[in-house]
């Protein structure tokens, strides 16, 4: 798999999404650098955002460990925990506290009162911040969850700059992304089963870059099929084909 990719798009969020899809990983598996911020000028016109994304070495080691486990058919799976630069508990706590402060600052620009932010560890070791409130949470979700994705990128970027340390952070709103991930994973498995039985490609409906990555990652463990993204813009979708 590719270890590094530099993407260009209208916004930082769009460039990051493009790079993550190209590399076939989620955001917690990479570090990224905003090479150029998007800008508009009377003389030079519109300049796009440029983002350089690099897959973390510890993630690659974990993938290799999982591959060796599958090949050797070991009875006990041993997957190394990602150390994220060997950060101490105090440093991680500091990052989490700063991330919550950043989230509250951003949410302050929305018409949302009495916000609560629950913090817990995700399956990949990332810290997930789940936002709840009495009303208007749809504003934070956005169409197809695009506002959540933008909120996550912004929070992570600001927190990393303020702390000078990187740690994978994720944002959810009343469990929306968790429920969406479960639903998309189920769709991917059902479609893969149909593809394997009929020996014909199955095209899924258009999805966001985040949703397409969920499909790709869910099908990695099914050797009978492969997946690839096709189309462009709002019509970009995943096609599952026989291996």
Q: What is the pLDDT of residues 49-61, one digit of tens each?
A: 899 999 887 767 6
Provide the pLDDT for residue 226: 93
**3-state secondary structure at position 214:** helix
Domains of the chain, CATH where assigned: 1-81 (no CATH), 89-174 (3.30.300.20), 177-243 (3.30.1370.50)
Could you please report the per-residue DSSP string of 77-105? ---PPP-TTT--HHHHHHHHHHHHHHHHH
Residues of the chain scoring pLDDT < 70: 1, 42-44, 59, 61-85
Cβ–Cβ under 8 Å, residues 3 and 25: no
Residues in the chain: 243
Provide the pLDDT for residue 69: 38
| Interatomic CA distance for residues 131 and 177, integer angstroms | 11
């Amino acid at each position: 798999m590719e270890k590094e990719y530099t993407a260009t798009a209208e916004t930082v969020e769009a460039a990051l999404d493009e790079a993550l899809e190209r590399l076939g990983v989620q955001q917690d598996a990479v570090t990224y650098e905003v090479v150029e911020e998007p800008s508009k000028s009377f003389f030079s016109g519109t300049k796009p955002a440029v983002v350089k994304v690099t897959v973390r070495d510890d993630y690659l080691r974990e993938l290799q460990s999982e591959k060796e486990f599958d090949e050797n058919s070991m009875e006990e799976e041993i997957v190394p925990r990602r150390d994220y630069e060997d950060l101490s508990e105090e440093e991680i706590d500091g990052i989490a506290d700063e991330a919550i402060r950043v989230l509250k600052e951003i949410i302050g620009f929305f018409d949302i009162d009495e916000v609560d932010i629950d913090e817990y560890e995700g399956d990949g070791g990332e810290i997930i911040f789940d936002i709840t409130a009495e009303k208007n949470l749809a504003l934070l979700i956005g169409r197809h969850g695009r506002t959540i994705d933008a909120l996550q990128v912004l929070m992570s970027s600001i927190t990393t700059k303020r702390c000078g340390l990187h740690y994978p952070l994720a944002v959810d709103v009343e469990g929306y992304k968790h429920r969406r991930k479960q639903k998309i994973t189920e769709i991917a498995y059902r479609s893969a089963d149909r593809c394997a039985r009929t020996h014909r490609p199955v095209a899924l409906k258009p999805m966001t870059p985040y949703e397409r990555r969920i499909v790709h990652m869910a099908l990695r463990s099914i050797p009978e099929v492969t997946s690839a993204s096709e189309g462009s813009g709002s019509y970009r979708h995943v096609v599952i084909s026989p291996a």
